[in-house]
Amino acid sequence: MSSENDRYVVRRSNGCAVVKAHAKRASKVCKTQKQAEIRAKQIVFNLGGGEVRIQGKDGRWRDSDTVSPANDPNPPRDRKH
């Protein structure tokens, strides 16, 4: 289930981009994945919370993080953040 506030960090040829589902353009393109992750979390926080999903080198989703004040769907198992 995707929220309107959710953002995705995806790899691009010129770095990593922060994108919204079904958007034609990226919100931000950063040189590093870490910079894109930080920016995505800022955007989601400012919108009132949601999910940030991060794409790995193989194209699969390698991580996700719930940004407050959204509800974390798996609070006991999410020990990374």
Q: What would the two tokens of residue 2 be?
A: 């995707």
Beta bridge partners of 10: 17
* Sequence letter at residue 53: R
pLDDT classification of 80: cutoffs 50, 70, 90: low
Sign of the four-CA dihedral 12, 25, 33, 5: negative
Provide the pLDDT for residue 3: 80
User: How far, in Å, CA of 54 to CA of 63, rounded?
Assistant: 5
Task: Quick: pLDDT tens for 15-72.
Answer: 999 999 999 999 999 999 999 999 999 999 999 999 999 999 899 999 999 888 766 6
List Cβ neighbours of 68 (8 Å cut-off, separation of 6 or more).
45, 49
User: How far, in Å, CA of 7 to CA of 58, rounded?
Assistant: 19
